[in-house]
């Protein structure tokens, strides 16, 4: 349960982020949701409010440290506390190491890696004050194996493991846990729109459970890491991949 906890979710407008926000709300949490796209974010907000919980929503680019600081300050004013933060926002600019431009490489790292750092920097002072907090980062199985044509994405997700473990070491003495979930292929609008069926099938062929995940199947383990039951779990990297590339 996450009864009366306050959880911040980035990239909450669709896909896994929306599922995390909704699952946490169903478990009793109030949500501070941010995304780049106001239209999809608004739908998430309506769904959360329909479930009976409070939801504060803001258009915020996680790559912008000032915007993240402002959003967290607003959430603090509205809710008075922040128990959990989920670094979920992400996007991709595919490219091999030979072809990807430095600009694209930096843009992907700017959202996945620097974005997570921006959120950790913004929420940790409040969590330290409270004497408790939970941070969950979304990595990927590409972070441990690399992925052909995914130079920036794989590098960003691998670097998130180092950031997670470092933050876990530094914030642990303040009773703040920091963990990372590595999803496998998950049925989200982005995957359904941009990943060719033949590549999806290649991944599924390498997945013992023989199918892709539904977003709620990633949200469940994230909510466990946000909960009191996970009080002694920190610095952990958890594959939620149906066994793909275990």
Ligand X SMILES: NC(=O)c1ccc[n+]([C@@H]2O[C@H](COP(=O)([O-])OP(=O)(O)OC[C@H]3O[C@@H](n4cnc5c(N)ncnc54)[C@H](O)[C@@H]3O)[C@@H](O)[C@H]2O)c1
Report, as residue numbers or ranges, the catalytic residues.
153
| Contact residues for ligand X, defined by CB under 6 A | 10-11, 13-17, 34-37, 40, 61-63, 88-91, 111, 115, 138, 140, 183, 185-186, 188-191
- Give me the least distance between CB of 64 and ligand X, in Å please: 8
Closer CB to ligand X, residue 82 or residue 203? 203
- Which residue, judged by CB position, is nearest to ligand X in the bound state? 15
In sequence order, the β-bridge partners of residue 59 are 35
Q: How far apart are CA 140 and CA 113, in angstroms?
A: 12
CB of 203 to ligand X, least distance (A): 9
Cα–Cα nearest to 183, from 175, 191, 171: 191
Q: Which residue has the tokens 């309506």?
A: 46
Minimum separation from the CB atom of position 13 to ligand X (A): 4
Instruction: Give the residue with the Cβ less far from ligand X, 129 or 148.
Output: 148
CA pair distance 153, 163, nearest whole angstrom: 15
SS3 243: coil
Q: For residue 146, give the 3-state DSSP assignment.
A: coil
Could you tell me how far CA 68 lies from the centroid of its own chain? 15
Instruction: Considering the complex, state which of residue 13 and residue 133 has its C-beta at the smaller distance from ligand X.
Output: 13
Least separation in angstroms between residue 129's CB and ligand X is 25
Distance, CA of 224 to chain centre: 14
Minimum CB separation from ligand X for residue 232, in Å?
25
Of the candidates 144, 169, 171, 147, the one whose C-alpha atom is nearest the C-alpha of residue 158 is 144
Give CA–CA dist 41/177, Å, rounded: 27
Cα gap 198→209, rounded to integer Å:
18
Element (H, E) at 94: none
- Judged by beta carbon, residue 38 or residue 125, the one nearer ligand X is 38
Q: Measured from the CB atom, is 97 or 195 closer to ligand X?
A: 195
Look at the chain and count its residues: 246
Q: Cα separation of 115 and 64, whole Å?
A: 7
């Amino acid at each position: 349960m996450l009864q009366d906890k306050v959880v911040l979710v980035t990239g909450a407008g669709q896909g896994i982020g929306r599922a995390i926000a909704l699952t946490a709300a169903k478990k009793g949490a109030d949500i501070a949701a941010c995304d780049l796209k106001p239209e999809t974010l608004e739908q998430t907000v309506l769904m959360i409010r329909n479930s009976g919980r409070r939801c504060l929503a803001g258009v915020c680019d996680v790559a912008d440290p000032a915007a993240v600081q402002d959003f967290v300050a607003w959430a603090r004013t509205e809710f008075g506390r922040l128990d959990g933060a989920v670094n979920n926002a992400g996007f991709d600019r595919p490219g091999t190491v030979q072809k990807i431009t430095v600009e694209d490489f930096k843009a992907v790292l700017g959202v996945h890696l620097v974005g997570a750092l921006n959120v950790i920097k913004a929420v940790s002072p409040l969590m330290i004050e409270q004497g408790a907090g939970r941070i969950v980062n979304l990595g990927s199985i590409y972070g441990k194996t690399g992925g052909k044509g995914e130079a920036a994405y794989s590098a960003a997700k691998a670097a998130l493991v180092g950031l997670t473990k470092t933050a876990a070491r530094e914030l642990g003495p303040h009773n703040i846990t920091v963990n990372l979930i590595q999803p496998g292929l998950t049925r989200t609008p982005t995957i359904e729109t941009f990943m060719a069926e033949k590549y999806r099938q290649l991944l599924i062929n390498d997945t013992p459970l023989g199918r892709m995940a539904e977003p709620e199947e990633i949200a469940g383990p994230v909510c466990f890491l946000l909960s009191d039951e996970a009080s002694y779990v920190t610095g952990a990297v958890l594959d939620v991949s149906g066994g793909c590339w275990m």
